[in-house]
Amino acid sequence: MQSRNVNLQRKNNLKITETNHTIMMEFVLQGFANIPQFHWYLFGGFLVIYLIILLGNGIIILITKVDATLQTPMYFFLSNFSFLEICYVSVTLPRMLMDLWTQKGTISFLTCATQMCFFLTLGVTECFLLAVMAYDRFVAICNPLHYPLVMNHKVCVQLVVASWISGFPVQIGQTFQIFSLSFCGSNKINHFFCDIPPLLKLACGDIFMNKLVVYVFAVLFVTLPFLLILGFYIRIIFTILKLPSKTGRTKAFSTCSSHIIIVLLFYGSATVTYLKPKSNQYEGIDKLLSLFYTVLTPTFNPMIYSLRNKDVIKAMRKFLPKLSAL
């Protein structure tokens, strides 16, 4: 009789555990559910932005491949960066457009994990590629005589490949760690894509170690590249200030200004999003900042590099008439 009571108690405890720790088969991305009256305006606006990103960055990739004057390491890195921007925005924006069109935000557990993995991996790639582009400007300005030797084609390819693959193993592990957690109660993600902070809010139990791992990875794969960029530009600024002519200083700085703007846009919005205090009152701001570095930065990229670069403008003037004649 006593054994039977123990078994019943175990079954009851098991039922309670199953109730408290729901096995999530799918999530719901709430996105812009709080402003349903603007869904179609948002759909139209984001669709235009996505087409601009594809067209603008696509043109940069093409002109850096076909124009002989742009066959240099700086533009090789720029074409890879433009391709990265297309991939980066394609992880989140098409899904957001589909949710706005169908007005349903359901996303399967596996799809959510896949989206997060690619988003994190491409984000790490962007950090490293920005650091590589800063290193390229550092060598060009601080060691111009050694530039052709140091930044030869083989080295450039190796740097780009390292930037693309460095984040994959770690971010796959981090995604597995996040989605191995138990999720309680609501399956609604108050965001327009699967990101770490809103998902951790749905997790059960003590997640201190998970948050600690997230911050450690952020330091290694986000802060470290930023410190490298900062170090390179400190050396670059000191070198530029030592140049004897004002024309030389202006020309040297102009080759870095576009890259600096992109770095400030990307790191500024991402840093505020992930390092500010977490609170429900900031969720709307989180979405706005996330839109800034996931959507608007890739939109600004071709504009910034084309409007502030005479070589790119000249190449576009030669390329666009040929494109329109096809």
165 contacts 264 by C-beta, under 8 angstroms: no
At residue 201, φ and ψ (nearest 5 deg) are -65, -20
Whether residue 288 is predicted with pLDDT greater than 80 in this model: the reply is no
- pLDDT digit string (tens) for 48-89? 999 999 998 998 999 899 888 889 999 999 999 999 999 999
Confidence of residue 38 (pLDDT cuts 50, 70, 90): confident
Instruction: Give the C-alpha separation, 300 to 30, whole Å.
Output: 27
**Mean pLDDT, rounded, for 239-245:** 88
Whether residue 315 is predicted with pLDDT greater than 70 in this model: the reply is yes
pLDDT of residue 281: 52
Instruction: Give the C-alpha separation, 251 to 244, whole Å.
Output: 12
Residue-averaged pLDDT of the chain: 84
- pLDDT digit string (tens) for 209-224? 888 888 888 888 888 9
**Mean pLDDT, rounded, for 24-43:** 86
State whether the Cα torsion 194-195-197-199 is positive or negative.
positive
Cβ neighbours of residue 105 closer than 8 Å, sequence gap 6 or more: 28, 29, 30, 31, 33, 99
Q: Which segment, 150-154, 166-170, 191-195, 249-253, is predicted with the most confidence on average?
A: 150-154
DSSP assignment letter at 36: G
More confident residue, 251 or 281: 251
- pLDDT digit string (tens) for 92-146? 999 999 999 988 889 999 999 999 999 999 999 999 999 999 999 999 999 999 9
% of the chain beyond a pLDDT of 70: 86
> For residue 124, which of 211, 212, 265, 218 has the smallest C-alpha distance?
218
- The reported pTM is 0.86
Helices (H), the chain: 2-20, 39-66, 73-102, 109-142, 147-150, 153-165, 168-179, 196-200, 208-218, 224-241, 246-275, 283-291, 297-307, 310-325
String of DSSP letters for 268-316: HHHHHHHHSPP-GGGHHHHHHHHHIIIIIHHHHHHHHHHHT-HHHHHHH
More confident residue, 270 or 263: 263
Confidence of residue 273 (pLDDT cuts 50, 70, 90): low
Instruction: Give the C-alpha separation, 57 to 55, whole Å.
Output: 6
Which tokens in the block code for residue 161?
């490949």
Which tokens in the block code for residue 166?
């460095």
CB-side exposure of 95: number of CA atoms within 13 Å?
A: 25
